Amino acid sequence: MEKPRFELTASPHIKGPDSTPRIMWSVVGSLAPVIFAAIWYFGPSAVLVLAATTLGCVLTERVFGPGGSLRDGSAVITGLLLGLTLPAGIPLWMAFLGGIFAIGLGKLLFGGLGQNVFNPALLGRAFLQAAFPEALTTWPDVSGPWWALRGDNFALPFMTPNPVDTVTGATPLGLMKFEGAHTELARLVIGSTGGSLGETAAVLILLGGAYLALKKYLDWRVPISIFVSVAVLSQIIHVFMPDKPDALFMLFSGGLMLGAVFMATDMVTSPSTPRGAWIYGAGIGALVVLIRLWGGLPEGVMYAILLMNSLVPFINRATQPRLFGTGKEAAA
């Protein structure tokens, strides 16, 4: 008798078109415009830094991760996102180390894809910020020739980077916080300001985010609730304390756009319930405003997201959906 030729599977026997690798690679694709902007503004340094972080992440995943896990694309996302949060002039070995840390301790240590509590890219950046505070806060300006390196990218490990003949300047948030100076909104929106690689092009970030939201590859509630809570809170504060910046400046400066659209929406580390997403986003927004206006650092997006990441299990638990046929909707 010939071998049975029919599949025997449990229902459902058909499957929707989405797959985890497809979601991940779509996120990579939607980062492309942001990456182009980074290269446009920061030249070869941008390419080098992004390559270093991505390589750090991919190699770590390849060596320590489960077999074939590179194919799902999540390591590449972490690498690119980490790179986009770094200043262009950072020595490459630091960027590479950040990538190793992000995947190794940020993700694999928790059990790999889907298990991590914190956004791996932000954890990698937090590690770099703690380890190399100076390199992480030296912001090259976007002026100067395109082809020039924006810092001593090739500095050797643990050596003091050579001073490079490039203009460094403060970020708009730094200017606001430490010098009380304001940056024009138009420059913030198109991104021709100082800052880390990916945080400068607000429009392109929103474009990528809109694409992902339409494909349902990110939960639109998260960025919207972050934006709303940041705008409302900062505008209220601005009304009572006019020396504090207004809502538009808060929205378009610093890493808020990149953080809200690409980091806070990481599916693994954000709530999976719709109501949870609103609470989580509002919490991030409030923390961003508090840290930016009254904290010791000019920027607070990273810590705001990481702090809210740690609350996600509790938010999930508290916001379970209402079971059909219970509550006031059910007929008595």
Partner 1 sequence: MLNLFGHTFRHGVHPPESKGLTEHVPIRRMPFPDRIALPLRQHAGKPAKCLVHKGDRVQRGDKIAEADGYVSVPIHASAAGTVVDIGWWPHPDGSMTETVVIDVEEYSPQIPRPRMVPNWSGLTPDQVRAAVQDGGVVGLGGAAFPTHVKLAPPKDLPIEWLLVNGAECEPYLTTDHRTMVEYPDRVHFGLRIMMQCLGVKRAVIGVELNKPDAIAALERTIPDDLDVTVQGLTVKYPQGAEKMLIEVVTGREVPSGKLPMHVGTVVQNVGSIATIAEIFETGLPLIERVVTVTGPGVRKPSNLIVPVGTMLGDVLDYCGGLTEDAAEIVFGGPMMGSSQPDMRTPITKGTTGVVVLTASEVKPKRTYPCIKCGHCLEACPVFLNPSQLGLLAQAGRYDVMQERYHLQDCMLCGSCSYVCPSNIPLSQMFALSKTALRKQQTAAAAKEKETEKEKEQEGAKVA
**How far, in Å, CA of 50 to CA of 6, rounded?**
48
Give the closest residue to 41 by CA, choosing from 140, 142, 138.
Answer: 142
Handedness of CA 137, 138, 144, 148 (dihedral sign): negative
Contact flag: residue 3 with partner 1 (CB under 8 A): no
The two three-digit tokens of residue 259, written as one number: 């953080």
Contact flag: residue 1 with partner 1 (CB under 8 A): no
Angle between helices 274-294 and 221-240 (to 10 degrees): 40
Cβ distance to partner 1 smaller for residue 11 or 243:
11
Do 160 and 94 meet the contact criterion of CB atoms below 8 Å apart? no
Contact flag: residue 20 with partner 1 (CB under 8 A): yes
**How far, in Å, CA of 85 to CA of 100, rounded?**
15
Do 302 and 122 meet the contact criterion of CB atoms below 8 Å apart? yes
Give the closest residue to 149 by CA, choosing from 52, 54, 42.
Answer: 42
Among residues 29, 133, 157, 321, the one that binds partner 1 under rule CB under 8 A: 321
Among residues 1, 2, 6, 163, the one that binds partner 1 under rule CB under 8 A: 6
Burial class for 84, CB neighbours closer than 10 Å (0-12, 13-18, 19+): buried
Do 191 and 205 meet the contact criterion of CB atoms below 8 Å apart? no
Contact flag: residue 325 with partner 1 (CB under 8 A): yes
Angle between helices 74-84 and 92-104 (to 10 degrees): 140
Do 102 and 123 meet the contact criterion of CB atoms below 8 Å apart? yes
Among residues 160, 216, 310, 314, the one that binds partner 1 under rule CB under 8 A: 216
Cβ distance to partner 1 smaller for residue 147 or 324:
324
Q: Which stretch binds partner 1 (CB under 8 A): 18-26, 135-143, 179-187, 205-213?
A: 18-26
Cβ distance to partner 1 smaller for residue 134 or 329:
329
**Coil, strand or helix: which one is 44?**
helix
Contact flag: residue 29 with partner 1 (CB under 8 A): no
Contact flags string 263-302 toward partner 1, x per CB under 8 A? ----xx-xxxxx----------------------------
CB of 318 vs partner 1, minimal distance in Å = 12
Contact flags string 158-197 toward partner 1, x per CB under 8 A? ----------------------------------------
Contact flags string 70-89 toward partner 1, x per CB under 8 A? --x-----------------
Q: Which stretch binds partner 1 (CB under 8 A): 229-237, 241-249, 256-264, 320-328?
A: 320-328
Among residues 3, 11, 163, 179, the one that binds partner 1 under rule CB under 8 A: 11
**How far, in Å, CA of 33 to CA of 258, rounded?**
12
Cβ distance to partner 1 smaller for residue 39 or 267:
267
CA distances from 297 to 126, 229, 293, 294, 319 (A): 13, 20, 9, 8, 32
CB of 158 vs partner 1, minimal distance in Å = 37
Among residues 37, 88, 113, 302, the one that binds partner 1 under rule CB under 8 A: 113
Among residues 2, 3, 7, 130, the one that binds partner 1 under rule CB under 8 A: 7
Q: Which stretch binds partner 1 (CB under 8 A): 4-12, 48-56, 80-88, 166-174?
A: 4-12
**How far, in Å, CA of 299 to CA of 125, rounded?**
13
Do 69 and 20 meet the contact criterion of CB atoms below 8 Å apart? no
Residue numbers of the site for partner 1 (CB under 8 A)?
A: 4-16, 18-23, 72, 112-115, 216, 219, 267-268, 270-274, 316, 320-326, 329-332
